[in-house]
Amino acid sequence: MAERLQKILAQAGVASRRAAEQLILEGRVEVDGSIVTQLGSRFDPNQVRICVDGQEIAAEKHVYLLLNKPAGYISTLSDPQGRRLVTELLQDIPERVFPVGRLDFDTEGALILTNDGAFAHSILHPSREIPRTYEALVSGVPGPEALRRLESGLDLEEFRTRPAQVRILRRAAQQCLVEIVIHEGHKRQVRRMFQAIGHRVLHLKRTAYGNLRLGNLRPGRWRRLSPAEFRQLFSAAP
């Protein structure tokens, strides 16, 4: 993905962003053998050779991962309470990655991790409305009117949910499994939505994030996004 040249230099540890701009203005930066002095120039660091004072820089390699997060892990890079972090499941990844958005401590399922800030910002942007698909095991069986409330949107104190897609996957006497697709990611949103219609969530799993589905990926395991998955997820960037 193309980035501003000064940002590439800063991410590679050559200099601060401002100092990198000065290097460019002084004509000390080459891209594929040509000197670049325009600060707005953008390049994909994985596709070009960048040199400063004749020395090639090692551009940061972007990685994009899909993790099947188990319950009992927190989706942050640190935790004052000492709870387990999702990054502890990625011991064999040398790059320092961070979660794109969050899954609650007690929620399982699809979580994207990357070291590409622009990618993360793009797919989290409210204008994207990327669908998040969940399977919620809830107490009782919501009736047609309760399901219509989920589908049309609910007022949850500080915000109103956008219309959701809902279908019951399996029923039992005291509980049922519901698939719900939402298009935003407020804190504990799915649990709060079901609470608002009088049904407590007993277990929650995110089975898909946009076009990315867990498939046979086991809890605690991860895989890299394919180029096609990356392009499809990123293609509608605002």
pTM value surpassing 0.75: yes
Could you tell me which of 104, 96, 78 has the C-alpha nearest to residue 186? 104
Alpha-carbon distance of 137 to 108, in angstroms, equals 12
- Clarify whether residues 194 and 229 are in a common domain: no
Structural domain count of the chain: 3
- Clarify whether residues 218 and 119 are in a common domain: yes
Domain holding 75: CATH number? 3.30.70.580
Predicted pLDDT at 91 = 81
CB atoms within 10 A of CB 165: 13
SS3 label, residue 231? helix
Catalytic positions are 104
- Clarify whether residues 220 and 204 are in a common domain: no
Q: Give me the domain span that covers residue 142.
A: 131-209
How much is the mean pLDDT over the chain? Answer: 90
Domain holding 10: CATH number? 3.10.290.10
**How do residues 179-217 score in pLDDT, each as one tens digit?**
999 998 888 999 999 999 999 999 999 999 998 999 999
**How do residues 126-164 score in pLDDT, each as one tens digit?**
777 889 999 999 999 999 999 999 999 999 988 899 999
What tokens appear for 206 in the block? Answer: 């995110």
- Clarify whether residues 135 and 194 are in a common domain: yes
Alpha-carbon distance of 133 to 110, in angstroms, equals 9
